[in-house]
Amino acid sequence: MPLTAQPLPHHGRDSLLLLTSDGARAQVGLYGAQVTSWQPVPGRERLYLSPNATWTTGTAIRGGIPVVFPQFGGRGPLAKHGFARLSDWRFLGIDATALGQPAAVLELSDSADTRRHWPTRFRARLHVALSASALRVGLEVRNEDTAAATFTTALHTYLRVDSLEGTVLEGLERAPYLDSTRGDTPMPAQGEGIRFNTETDRIYPDSPHETVLHGRNGRVRVRMSGFKDTVVWNPGASLAASMADLGPGEHEHFVCVEAATVIEPVTLASGESWLGWQQLVDESD
Ligand SMILES: O=P(O)(O)OC[C@H]1O[C@H](O)[C@H](O)[C@@H](O)[C@@H]1O
């Protein structure tokens, strides 16, 4: 399906509006290569973007699909979740090579600034593909250094829900997890879908590659490839209220279902590449 990209500034920042011929649309900003909107049908927004997000350089944008690279969370010496979400990426054009379907391609390469934090010479590309009811986002990383490189990564997707009441994430019933609200305490499989009554921050190592988020506003299927782990996050009422870029009640409107590789980092030999993607499929009527 043909895909077009046209410039459409968003909160004063360079951004692209992606459109398919059947009306699906998405928006991706060059700052962080962050997808901030996905509407499989005009007006049916499937991603959450905080009304209180900060849009200034040096701060992460709360919502959409932040690209976490080359470090997940605080698991290393870099700033939390790494520098990719705080960097200006370049738009290269539409290309079908990596995902096998037309995608807008954004690129980030090492610079004196990135090498100050992370010595590796690399090339990262984010591929954003849209079809009738699906959004597929692929992260491709090539090690352009002479030495091996190691990183952790995630597509930190904020899925919009009308309300947490009645929202359930299915697909991880049989998977054990690490509870990050309790210092990554190992927990057994829960045997039921995840409901969001309280702060939830979990890493499912080597998890199933497909989950489904059901809520009052419909259903989104989440698939991934290349990534190994799934991270599930909702800050709950009190943490959300204390976060300036969320605020009271905002936790009610999203669940993060993250395609991640956190537990066993990716290691790339010199010249090697890695590709991970996450696909969101809108299954609402
Ligand atoms: O506030 P941020 O740096 O964007 O991080 C938001 C969240 O990201 C991940 O989901 C982590 O598992 C959480 O522990 C973290 O709070």
The answer regarding whether domain 3-160+221-282 maps to CATH 2.70.98.10 reads: yes
pLDDT tens profile 74-100:
999 999 999 999 999 999 999 999 999
8 A C-beta contact, residue 106 and residue 125:
yes
The ligand 1 atom at the shortest distance from the C-alpha of residue 243 is 1
Residue to probe by mutation, ligand 1, list 59, 65, 256, 262, most atoms within 8 Å of CB: 256
Q: How far is the CA of 125 from the centre of ligand 1 (A)?
A: 22
Q: How far is the CA of 234 from the centre of ligand 1 (A)?
A: 9
* pLDDT tops 90 at residue 107: yes
C-alpha 201/C-alpha 180 separation (Å) is 5
**If you take atom 7 of ligand 1, which residue's CA is the nearest one?**
233
**If you take atom 12 of ligand 1, which residue's CA is the nearest one?**
201
* pLDDT tops 80 at residue 19: yes
**47 HSE (CA, 13 A, CB side):** 26
Q: How far is the CA of 284 from the centre of ligand 1 (A)?
A: 28
The ligand 1 atom at the shortest distance from the C-alpha of residue 73 is 11
The ligand 1 atom at the shortest distance from the C-alpha of residue 81 is 3
Encoded amino acid at 147, one letter? A
Of 13, 14, 11, 35, the closest CA to residue 25 belongs to: 35
Distances (CA, A) of 254 to 156, 207, 215, 269: 12, 21, 10, 37
The ligand 1 atom at the shortest distance from the C-alpha of residue 235 is 16
Q: Containing H/E element for 236?
A: helix 236-242
* pLDDT tops 90 at residue 109: yes
Q: How far is the CA of 73 from the centre of ligand 1 (A)?
A: 7
Q: How far is the CA of 68 from the centre of ligand 1 (A)?
A: 10
Helix (H, G, I), strand (E, B), or coil: what is residue 118? coil
Residues belonging to the active site: 156, 258
- Pocket lining for ligand 1, CB < 6 angstroms: 60, 73, 80-81, 156, 180, 201, 231, 233, 256, 258
The ligand 1 atom at the shortest distance from the C-alpha of residue 233 is 10
Q: How far is the CA of 199 from the centre of ligand 1 (A)?
A: 12
Residue 132, pLDDT score: 86
* pLDDT tops 90 at residue 258: yes
* pLDDT tops 90 at residue 12: yes
Residue 217, pLDDT score: 85
C-alpha 73/C-alpha 152 separation (Å) is 9
Give residue 142's pLDDT band: very low, low, confident or very high (50, 70, 90). Answer: very high
**If you take atom 3 of ligand 1, which residue's CA is the nearest one?**
80
The mean pLDDT value for 29-54 works out to 97
pLDDT tens profile 150-200:
999 999 999 999 999 999 999 999 999 999 999 999 999 999 999 999 999
Residue to probe by mutation, ligand 1, list 83, 153, 159, 233, most atoms within 8 Å of CB: 233
Residue 284, pLDDT score: 85
Of 170, 175, 150, the closest CA to residue 229 belongs to: 175
Name every residue whose Cβ is closer than 8 Å to that of residue 134 and which is 6 or more positions away in sequence: 40, 279, 280, 281, 282
Q: How many residues does the chain have?
A: 285
DSSP state of 49: B
Give residue 271's pLDDT band: very low, low, confident or very high (50, 70, 90). Answer: very high
**253 HSE (CA, 13 A, CB side):** 17
